[in-house]
Chains A and B, each alone.
Chain A
Amino acid sequence: EAAVTQSPRSKVAVTGGKVTLSCHQTNNHDYMYWYRQDTGHGLRLIHYSYVADSTEKGDIPDGYKASRPSQENFSLILELASLSQTAVYFCASSDARDEQYFGPGTRLTVL
């Protein structure tokens, strides 16, 4: 069964520290996305990628970097974590038909 997995599922980080969130998909999809979800808000797009070794900025890219080393893997990197980056982060993948398949999410708490 096609799937999107994320690791870790939860993470506690210190302010100013580096955080890497990982995403792996077995859907054979070209497109991958990183979203953040805050309480009372919908999902907001941080970065996306439509081919390996290339990433694009989404709606809220500030403070985040992304890396797509292969079709299957997409990482989100917080070089200097801040309190405002406490949120749940979702990875998703899709093909050209628009339907996005989401992972289970990573709950990040920055202290």
Chain B
Amino acid sequence: QQQVRQSPQSLTVWEGETAILNCSYEDSTFNYFPWYQQFPGEGPALLISIRSVSDKKEDGRFTIFFNKREKKLSLHITDSQPGDSATYFCAASEGTQVVGQLTFGRGTRLQVYA
């Protein structure tokens, strides 16, 4: 059973548009949700994260919206750039587990066309 689900599997947007990547989870004890960005041939890199006490986290063009009741979150990338083309992973962890034991979704592959 997938604990963390992402949709869509792939997404194509034009430069300047807003890309919306979705994530949902099963375990109500999850309280930390990082998003990782991965370029081909590289390891994932932390992009932005949110804790369940917040419903929104913003960092430049990247914003996470979090709905605890529905166990859903989304990553919005405004003014998308070709350099944002990558795979984005939503992950989750639960505070009483060993710190950092993350459960990852399968990723959303984003393509931004100029």
Contact = CB atoms under 8 A, between A and B. Distances in A.
Interface stretch (B12-20, B53-61, B99-107): B99-107
Interface stretch (B39-47, B67-75, B77-85): B39-47
Q: Which of the four size classes fits the interface of chain A?
A: 20 to 34
A101 B91 CA distance: 14
Nearest to A50: B98
Given A48-B98, A98-B32, A98-B99, A42 B104 contact: yes
B100 to A, nearest CB: 4
A35 B100 CA distance: 13
Contacts of A14: none
Contacts of B49: 98-99
A98 B89 CA distance: 16
B107 A105 contact: no
A45 interface: yes
A44 B104 contact: yes
A6 to B, nearest CB: 8
Nearest to B6: A42
Given A42-B89, A59-B103, 7 more contacts: A42-B6, A43-B44, A45-B102, A50-B99, A98-B99, A100-B34, A101-B46
Interface of A: 4, 31, 33, 35, 40-45, 48, 50, 56, 58-59, 90, 92, 94, 96, 98-105
8 contacts: A42-B6, A43-B44, A43-B89, A94-B100, A100-B102, A103-B43, A104-B41, A105-B41
